[in-house]
């Protein structure tokens, strides 16, 4: 095979890898559009994303084993066919049920093509180039995972949500043609006998129920029978799977591979990267769109630098890996990633976008260096075992992502719920202190209850509800009944008191004018010459009465203006409370993610063999 053919073949493989990983994140940003199109709830539409992630996590190891056994090229083409066909089906789906079903089969295709790219690449370029191949595969994987929201945001800005799936079709065709023409077949020659059906069933059952429990625990409740049964059933199934694999002659998963500590440790590090990626790609995206009310495109452009950084950091990390080994590279990557998550906790609503981008770039550097664990995972494996090794490490990242959703999004939900309750309570206390009219106070209490009725983090955005509250208050504030008197020390209070004194003087003058007019009427009956004075007095009386009424209107206007000023303070207070409390809710979630990554970082110390161990093995 010539060098040119090798490069073309590998390009076809990387396209497949990019698509399979991209679809695990690109759809998230389109969920609001899909929800609106099918007129459904966020709970239902979230399955469009959940089913794909679940399918990847469940079928990667099985897909890798089947490819090793029956031929990687044949299984790759089957996976591409499934992925392309059901991407087209997703694009033209007419109902949410159809879309979720098609995403399941698309996920099977993704689970097949994603893990076997690495062993096919090693087969093309040889074992001696494993580090370079794994580096490119890792960079493409990381780039695809991080590029989902930016690419999705750009597509949604200029096209419909259907094009999020449609982008896969031409890429699938290109990849299919290249692989079918130029890539040669490869197998794991050490495999023999029948496929381990029992092991396949147990692993699929265990991973599917465990993953489902982690992804949907926050929705159904962690104490619900369904979730507890899934978690317990998944754990038991995996334990039985391990016991079966120890006894069976031709196991689905060769447990002897776990003795290679670099594979186990590297898989755990890759698991951590999948877990940590939830913070910038999902939780930070929530913050940008639901708290700052940025558009999908603006949010995507802020997050995009993480993708560009990974493209640089991953190859750089591989170069360092070849010189100093995996340990310092993966360890520093995890520490930088933990530090970047901690820095994200300082982001508030008034934080400049440039600062946000700097923190995101730092996260991309840490992520790129940590992903060198993919290279380290297959370094000491025999070439024919690189397929199953790739399946294990890629499945680990997907399961890490599921755990990230389970822990971090659940914590975010709890933090947001607490923040919303505090915002509501403080806002009600503030409006009561302002002492508006009874109608305004009742309206505020009613609308705030509606605004904060939903405590899900997926419905953080209250922009439309605040607008509705404002409209309701404008109507309520027009009422002149039971208007409060402005506070004496305020500007409106001083103006009101001054106008009130003038009004009192006018009322006194009016009363005296009426009394004078009555006396003149009595006298004019005896002296007709006084009649003109009586008429003029009557006119003066009528004028003072009109002035008194106008002054009453002025007093009412001052009360309304004073109330309006108080309501403006209420709105500003609600806005400030919302921004501060929700920023803290997100910040605490980032800190938790940072601590978990930092605590787990010592695992990186086993991603490479010690020099003594390598020398003893050579001897």
Q: Are 466 and 483 in contact (CB under 8 A)?
A: no
Residue 253 pLDDT > 90, yes or no?
no
| Better-predicted residue by pLDDT, 356 or 444 | 356
CA-nearest of 101, 95, 80, 259 to 174 is: 80
Euclidean distance between CA atoms 185 and 3, whole angstroms: 17
Band of pLDDT at residue 463, cut at 50, 70 and 90: low
Residues near 563 by Cβ (< 8 Å), separated by ≥ 6? 436, 437, 440, 477, 483, 484
pLDDT at residue 457, rounded to an integer:
45
Could you tell me the residue ranges of all domains in the chain?
1-193, 491-564
Query: What is the b/e burial string over 107-121, where b = at least 16 CB atoms within 10 angstroms of the residue's CB?
Result: bbbbbbbbbbbbbbb
Q: Are 597 and 423 a contacting pair, CB within 8 Å?
A: no
Mean pLDDT of 306-315: 86
What is the residue-wise DSSP string for 151-203?
A: HHHHHHHHS-TTHHHHTHHHHHHHHHHHHHHHPPP---TT--S---HHHHHHH
- Cα dihedral sign for 431, 437, 441, 444? negative
Over residues 143-172, the mean pLDDT reads 89
pLDDT at position 461, please?
47
**What are the angstrom distances between the C-alpha of 295 and each of 108, 281, 348, 382, 509?**
32, 15, 17, 48, 63
Q: Tell me: the pLDDT tens digits for 40-63?
A: 876 688 789 889 988 998 899 999
More confident residue, 563 or 529: 563
DSSP one-letter code for 231: H
Q: How far apart are CA 402 and CA 395, in angstroms?
A: 11
- pLDDT over 70 at 101, yes or no: yes
Nearest one of 109, 96, 113 to 48, comparing CA atoms: 96
Please check the confidence at residue 434 and state whether its pLDDT lies above 80: no
Using a pLDDT cut of 90, give the percent of the chain over it: 40
d(CA 259, CA 489): 78
Residue 454 has pLDDT above 60, yes or no: no
Cα 427 from Cα 571, distance rounded (Å): 9
What's the half-sphere exposure (Cβ side, CA atoms, 13 Å) at 224?
12
Mean pLDDT of 86-99: 95
Q: Does the pLDDT value for residue 615 go beyond 70?
A: no
**Distinct helix (H) and strand (E) counts, the chain:** 26, 0
* pLDDT 10s digits, 571-590: 788 778 888 888 999 999 99
Domain 1-193 has CATH 1.20.1250.20: yes
Contact 571, 563 (CB under 8 A): no
Lowest mean pLDDT among 129-133, 135-139, 487-491, 532-536: 532-536
Under a CB-based contact definition with an 8 Å cutoff, are residues 31 and 49 in contact?
A: yes
Residue 450 pLDDT > 80: no
Q: What is the mean pLDDT of the chain?
A: 86
pLDDT tens digits along 354-412: 999 999 999 999 999 999 998 899 888 888 888 888 889 988 988 898 888 888 888 88
Per residue in 336-351, pLDDT (tens digit) is 999 999 999 999 989 9
């Amino acid at each position: 095979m010539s060098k040119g053919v090798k490069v073309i073949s590998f390009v076809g493989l990387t396209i497949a890898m990019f698509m399979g990983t991209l679809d695990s994140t690109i759809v998230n940003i389109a969920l609001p559009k899909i929800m609106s199109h099918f007129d459904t709830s966020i709970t239902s539409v979230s399955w469009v994303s959940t089913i794909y992630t679940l399918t990847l996590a469940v079928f990667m190891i099985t897909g890798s084993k089947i490819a090793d056994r029956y031929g990687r090229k044949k299984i790759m083409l089957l996976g591409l066919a499934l992925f392309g066909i059901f991407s087209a089906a997703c694009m033209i789906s007419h109902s949410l049920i159809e879309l979720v079903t098609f995403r399941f089969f698309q996920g099977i295709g993704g689970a097949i093509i994603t893990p076997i790219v690495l062993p096919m690449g090693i087969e093309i370029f040889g074992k001696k180039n494993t580090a370079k191949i794994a580096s490119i595969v890792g960079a493409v994987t990381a780039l695809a995972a991080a590029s989902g929201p930016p690419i999705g945001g750009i597509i949604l800005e200029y096209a419909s949500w259907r094009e999020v799936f449609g982008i896969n079709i031409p890429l699938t065709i290109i990849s299919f043609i290249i692989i079918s023409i130029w890539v040669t077949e490869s197998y794991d020659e050490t495999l023999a006998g029948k496929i381990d059906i029992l092991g396949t069933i147990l692993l699929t059952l265990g991973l599917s129920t465990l993953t489902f429990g982690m992804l949907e625990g926050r929705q159904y409740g962690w104490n619900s029978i369904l979730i507890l049964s899934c978690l317990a059933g998944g754990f038991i199934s995996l334990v039985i799977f391990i016991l079966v694999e120890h006894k069976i002659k031709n196991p689905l998963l060769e447990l002897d591979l776990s003795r290679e500590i670099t594979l186990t440790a590297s898989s755990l590090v890759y698991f951590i990267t999948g877990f940590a990626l939830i913070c910038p790609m999902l939780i930070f995206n929530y913050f940008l769109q639901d708290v700052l009310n940025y558009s999908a495109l603006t949010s995507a452009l802020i997050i995009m630098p993480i993708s560009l950084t990974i493209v640089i950091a991953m190859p750089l990390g591989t170069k360092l890996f070849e010189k100093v080994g995996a340990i310092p590279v993966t360890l520093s990557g995890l520490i930088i990633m933990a530090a970047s998550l901690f820095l994200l906790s300082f982001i508030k609503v008034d934080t400049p976008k440039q600062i946000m981008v700097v923190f995101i770039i730092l996260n991309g550097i840490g992520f790129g260096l940590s992903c060198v664990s993919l290279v380290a995972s297959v370094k000491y494996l025999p070439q024919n075992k690189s397929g199953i090794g790739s399946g294990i490490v890629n499945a680990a990242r997907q399961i890490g992502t599921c755990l990230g959703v389970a822990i971090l999004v659940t914590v975010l939900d709890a933090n947001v719920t607490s923040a919303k309750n505090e915002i509501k309570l403080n806002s009600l206390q503030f409006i009561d202190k302002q002492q508006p009219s009874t109608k305004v106070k009742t309206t505020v209490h009613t609308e705030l209850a509606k605004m904060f009725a939903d405590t899900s983090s997926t419905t953080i955005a209250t922009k439309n509800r605040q607008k509705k509250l404002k409209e309701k208050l404008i109507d309520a504030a027009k009422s002149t009944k039971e208007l409060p008197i402005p506070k004496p020390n305020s500007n409106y209070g001083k103006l009101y008191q001054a106008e009130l004194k003038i009004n009192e003087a006018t009322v006194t003058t009016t009363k005296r004018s009426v009394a004078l007019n009555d006396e003149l009427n009595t006298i004019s009956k005896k002296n007709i010459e006084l009649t003109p004075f009586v008429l003029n007095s009557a006119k003066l009386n009528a004028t003072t009465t009109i002035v008194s009424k106008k002054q009453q209107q002025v007093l009412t206007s001052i009360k309304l203006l004073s109330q309006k000023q108080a309501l403006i303070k209420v709105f500003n207070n609600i806005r400030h409370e919302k921004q501060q409390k929700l920023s803290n809710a997100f910040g605490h979630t980032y800190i938790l993610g940072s601590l978990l990554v930092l605590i787990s970082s010592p695992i990186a110390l086993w991603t490479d063999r010690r020099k003594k161990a390598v020398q003893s093995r050579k001897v």
